[in-house]
Amino acid sequence: MKYLKYFLISLVLLVIPAGALACWGPWYTPKGYYMYRVYKNMPEPTWDIEEQHPDKETNCKEWQKHTSETIPLEDIYQAVYKMELEKLEAIYDKRETVHNNKFIAWITEKDTAILDFLLLAKTNEHIRLKRNSRWYYPSMKTGARMTLEEVAERAISTKGSKLRDRYLLQAVRALFSLCKYEKCIELWENEISHWPEDNLMRQLVHPYIAGAEFHTNHPEKAIEYFAQIGDVQSMLYCLGRSGEKLTVIDALEFVCEYAPNSKFIEETLQSYVRSIEPHGQFYWEEEFEKTPDFEKLYNLCLKMARSNGCNNPAMWYYSAAFLDDLSGNATSASRLLGLAEKSKSTGYINESIRVFRMYLDAKLYPYDSNYENRLFAQLKWLDSKIQANIDDKVSHETSRGYMLANCESYYYWNDMMRRILLAEVCPRMIKSGKTTRALQLANMADNRLLNLVNKHEEYDWMDNKVLHYYTMASYRYSSNFNDHDYSNHFFEMIDSLGVNAAIKYVQRVKKPQGEFDRFLNNCSYIGDDYLNDILGTQCLRNMRYREAVEYLGAVSESYKNHHNVYMTHDPFSFGPKKIQIKSDFRYDFAREMYSLEQGLNLTKEPNRKALLMVKYATGIRNSFDRCWGLTQYYRGSNYWGQVCEKRDWENEELTLQALDKAEKTIKLACEIVTDDEIAADIHYELCHFKTIAQMYPNTQKGALVKGKCDNLVDYTYQRRIGYSYF
């Protein structure tokens, strides 16, 4: 293990988030976001030494005490941790005399002993970095002014120096790199172990001594030392090398006994719990199974939460509550979380507790006005966290619309809003009949972050001259592709709940009934064009053409370029007749169908009425088949997006109703027609050649059919493979 070979101070259990994918990856449900969080493995957007490097922050403060309280910590951090050896050597040799860094200015003018030490320390690290390279050979030059042996000898000889503890840390580091482990242990036992336990240099030496004990064949001592500093992974490694079997939770119990407040505990906890959290991949539900380790961890959480030696009992109660919920015991989890809320904690854990409380409330509270008020307050807090923590990375990832559509994880606060609202609240709201509220919340979950980073606009997905074809099907998409609005959870929800639910939602958007409504409007994407287009398309699907004209007529011309689909065939033609592509194809179709409906109501003459009925039925049929873009935004399994592809369009109730109506209308048209020529024309378009030959032989189409009898089989074959629909 590289950790023990070169002794890199810590081994971090990194967990790849649900959305860490390459060019292609699985699509997750909202339940796939990791919720459990006790370890901050990513710094906040603001520069903060304490948040990014706790040991380094403490070290910088100690340097501040050695120099001056007026020196900024950032200056110390840049000098001690960031400055290259070559630059420090130039300062040491007085080749560089102008210093913008106040710490460097101080130690060059008022305390050169610190400058001497820094040169030794940076030389030490420079050589060790060279030696740790896989390309290093003993004969290679390091480019430093001294060797590791000289560094160690000089560091050990600095007795009486105020920087003695710092020099001995450098001595141990140099000796460890030279594989002189016994000498490291000797320095520890004779001097370093007698320093106070809160001495930072003692703490930094400690893991080297654990590694030295391991390399001198004292695994028991090494394991004990590693337990004292909380390094679970090194404990497991040592035990594995000695032939003993120990699980992560067994090692964690050992650590809690020796070092109940070790900083390594949080990362070990988070790694283990996230390994058993459901990840929702490919929409299948994972069956959770309790293991002996799960029970051990649950009992350990309760034990540590009640321990007097634990500085963060809230974290342990929170962890126990989370494990309870994973077991299906949400009520018990809520009780334990209540204890966490009352226990000593850090601000970071308190935030995780508040998120989990929001989640448990969504699962346990009855969906009444009291819960809505509670949810409103919780959402306002969560939204404030979303707004406060947006950084450049979040903005960049958000601009890639498919990251949200695929539920890929990249921003904890937004992930949690989506998981709670989309996976818990919205389904229960729909089940309880509150479809309008469910749609409002789904809209916020899908679009809040997009609104905040100002990336919710349509854009040219490809050059206008280029047509995109999917490999598996001939579905064409608009050159101005809207890559998010018609593939997210909100759209899937509003598109599947029915046009009446959609209309009620839009009415509520336009006339909010309270503060909660106004808040949700502000956090959602409620553009008139977007909503009117959805309503108009649903009205076409429901064959409510008068309303479709009203809604689609209100959509701006510019927005019509972003339908993601367009029509290439005449919707009123029996066969696949090509037409010129245009952006307002839905509006034109709605007007024509509404006009046909009016004509059918006014026309009494049977032959004209029959022709109108045939055209009307053909429009209905084509709008669900060849010209499906009139009633749908996507079709088949090749659509861009995760949630909409589940729809079985061909077997949906509205599709079946429309096709049945079209068939009955055609049948009625054939029954009421009185003119033989018109009747023959209709049957000819329907490919009813046998009917024409038998019933209308003396018409023009009858003569044509009889004269082309050799082609009758070909016509019938064409009809069978889909060139005719009735």
**pLDDT tens per residue across span 5-58:** 322 223 222 222 333 333 344 456 888 889 999 987 643 333 333 333 457 888
- Burial class from Cβ neighbours inside 10 Å (0-12, 13-18, 19+) for residue 282 reads exposed
Among 457, 481, 455, smallest CA distance to 397 is for: 455
* pLDDT of amino acid 541: 95
Q: In the prediction, which pLDDT does 354 show?
A: 97
Tokens for 220, please give them: 């028991």
Alpha helices for 389-527 (secondary structure H): 392-399, 402-405, 412-418, 426-431, 435-452, 489-496, 499-510, 515-522
Cβ neighbours for 195, distance < 8 A, ≥ 6 positions apart = 165, 201, 202
What value, to the nearest 5°, has the Cα angle with vertex 221 and ends 216 and 225?
A: 115
Tell me whether residue 185 is exposed, middle or buried, using C-beta atoms within 10 angstroms of its C-beta: 0 to 12, 13 to 18, 19 or more. buried
| Structure-block tokens of residue 335 | 């009780």
Query: Bridge-partner residues for 28, per DSSP?
Result: 281
Q: Which residues pair with 469 in a beta bridge?
A: 476
pLDDT at 301: 96
pLDDT at 726 over 70: no
Determine the pLDDT at residue 482: 55
Q: What does the pLDDT read at residue 287? A: 59
What gap in Å lies between CA 371 and CA 543, rounded to an integer?
Answer: 38
Q: What φ, ψ does residue 578 adopt, rounded to 5°?
A: -70, 145
Structure tokens at 127: 């050589």
Residue 475, pLDDT > 50, answer no
386 touches 448 (CB < 8 A): yes
The lowest-confidence range among 200-214, 448-462, 588-602 is 448-462
Do 585 and 592 form a contact (C-beta atoms < 8 A)? no
The residues, any chain, with a CB within 8 Å of residue 286's CB and separated by 6 or more, are: 278, 279
What's phi and psi for 622, nearest 5 deg? -65, -30
Q: What is the pLDDT of residues 401-448, one digit of tens each?
A: 667 767 788 899 999 999 999 999 999 999 999 999 999 999 999 999
CB 30 within 8 A of CB 423: yes
Q: Give the pLDDT band of residue 323 (cuts 50, 70, 90).
A: very high
What is the separation, in whole angstroms, between the first and last Cα of the chain? 72
Q: Find the mean pLDDT for residues 86-91.
A: 87
**pTM summary value:** 0.73
Tokens encoding 610: 């029959």
Question: What pLDDT is attached to residue 143?
Answer: 55
Whole-angstrom Cα distance, residue 466 to residue 479?
Answer: 7
**What's the pLDDT score for residue 138?**
55
Burial class (CB in 10 A: 0-12, 13-18, 19+), 204: middle
For residue 289, pLDDT beyond 90: no
Least confident of 97-111, 142-156, 349-363: 142-156
For the ranges 166-175, 181-190, 330-339, the maximum mean pLDDT occurs at: 330-339
**What pLDDT does 132 receive?**
63
Per-residue tokens: 316: 């342990």
Contacts of 706 (CB under 8 A, 6+ apart): 693, 697
* pLDDT in the model for residue 603: 94
Choose between 489 and 509: higher pLDDT.
509
Residue positions counted in the chain: 726
pLDDT above 90 coverage of the chain, percent? 45
Among 69, 52, 163, 174, CA closest to 125:
174
